[in-house]
Amino acid sequence: MAILMHKLFRKNIWLLLVSSQVIYGQHNDYPIQPVAFTQVHLKDNFWTPKMKVNAEVTIPYTLNQCKITGRIDNFYRASGKLPADKMTSFTFDDTDLYKVIEGASYSLQTRKDPSLEKYLDTLISSIAAAQEPDGYLYTFRTMKAAKPHEWIGTKRWEKEEDLSHELYNSGHLFEAAVAHYQATGKRNLLNIAIKNADLLVKTFGWGKEEHFPGHQIVETGLTKLYRATGKKEYLNLAKFFLDLRGLPGHLNQEYSQSHKKVVEQHTAVGHAVRATYMYTGMADVAALTGDQQYLSAIDDIWHDVVEKKLYITGGIGATGNGEAFGENYDLPNMSAYAETCAAIANVYWNNRMFLLHGDARYIDILERTLYNGLLSGISLSGDKFFYPNPLASLGQHQRRAWWDCACCVSNMTRFLPSVPGYVYAQNQDNLYVNLFIGGHSVIKLPKVSVSIDQQTNYPWEGTNELTINPDKKSAFALRIRIPGWAVNRPVAGNLYKDESKSNPVSIILNGKPIHFEVIKGYAVIQRTWSKGDKVSLNLPMDIKKIMAKDSVKADRNRFALQRGPIVYCLEGHDNKDGSVMNILVDKNAPVKAVYKPDLLNGIITLQMKGSSAKRQLNTDALIQSEQEVTAIPYFSWANRGSAEMEVWIPYEASATKPKPAPTIATNSKISSSLKNGLMLKALNDQYEVENSNDKSGNFLHWWPKKNTIEYVQYDFDAPHLVSKSSVYWLDDSPWGGCRIPANWKIFYQKDGEWIPVKVIKQSGIVKDQFNTIEFEPVTTSALKLEVQLPVDNASGIHEWTVN
What's the pLDDT tens digit per position in 194-224?
999 999 999 999 999 999 999 999 999 999 9
Residues 100 and 229 both lie in one domain: yes
pLDDT at position 675 is 80
Q: Is the pTM of this model over 0.85?
A: yes
pLDDT at position 15 is 33
pLDDT at position 677 is 78
User: What are 246-273's pLDDT values in tens digits?
Assistant: 999 999 999 999 999 999 999 999 999 9
CATH number at 725 reads 2.60.120.260
Residues 218 and 70 both lie in one domain: yes
User: What are 144-164's pLDDT values in tens digits?
Assistant: 999 999 999 999 999 999 999
User: What are 84-114's pLDDT values in tens digits?
Assistant: 999 999 999 999 999 999 999 999 987 889 9
Rounded mean pLDDT, 654-680: 89
pLDDT at position 16 is 35
pLDDT at position 583 is 97
pLDDT at position 686 is 86
Helix or strand holding residue 254 (H, E): none
Residues 463 and 494 both lie in one domain: yes
pLDDT at position 521 is 98
Split at pLDDT 50, 70, 90, the class of 27 is low
Helix or strand holding residue 617 (H, E): none
User: What are 726-752's pLDDT values in tens digits?
Assistant: 999 999 998 889 999 999 999 999 999
Contacts of residue 104, defined as CB under 8 A and 6 or more positions apart, other chains included, come to 59, 63, 116, 120
3-state secondary structure of 614: strand
In a domain, 455, yes or no: yes
3-state secondary structure of 142: helix
Split at pLDDT 50, 70, 90, the class of 622 is confident
Q: Cα(323)–Cα(343) distance, rounded to whole angstroms?
A: 12
CA dihedral sign of residues 126, 132, 135, 141: negative
What is the rounded (10 degree) CA torsion for 226, 228, 229, 230?
50
pLDDT over threshold 60, residue 591: yes
Residue 737, domain extent? 669-802
Residues 194 and 152 both lie in one domain: yes
Residues 711 and 622 both lie in one domain: no
Structural domains in the chain (count) = 4
The percentage of the chain sitting over the pLDDT mark of 90, rounded to a whole number, equals 89
- List beta partners, residue 566: 563
Q: Cα(420)–Cα(423) distance, rounded to whole angstroms?
A: 6
Q: Cα(504)–Cα(509) distance, rounded to whole angstroms?
A: 16
In a domain, 329, yes or no: no
Residues 55 and 153 both lie in one domain: yes
Rounded mean pLDDT, 396-421: 96
Residues 583 and 727 both lie in one domain: no
| Sheet strands (E) in 11-118 | 33-34, 40-42
Q: Cα(469)–Cα(112) distance, rounded to whole angstroms?
A: 26
Distances (CA, A) of 712 to 299, 484, 660, 665, 689: 50, 50, 20, 12, 20
In a domain, 137, yes or no: yes
Verify cis geometry, omega within 30 degrees of 0, for the bond prior to 459: yes
- List beta partners, residue 761: 774
CA dihedral sign of residues 684, 690, 696, 700: positive
pLDDT over threshold 80, residue 26: no
pLDDT over threshold 70, residue 773: yes
Residues 619 and 685 both lie in one domain: no
In a domain, 773, yes or no: yes
In a domain, 286, yes or no: no
In a domain, 159, yes or no: yes
Split at pLDDT 50, 70, 90, the class of 681 is confident
Residues 117 and 216 both lie in one domain: yes
Residues 647 and 677 both lie in one domain: no
In a domain, 362, yes or no: no
Residues 59 and 169 both lie in one domain: yes
Rounded mean pLDDT, 280-303: 97
Q: Cα(66)–Cα(77) distance, rounded to whole angstroms?
A: 14
Rounded mean pLDDT, 531-554: 97
Instruction: Give the residue from 629, 653, 677 where a domain finishes.
Output: 653
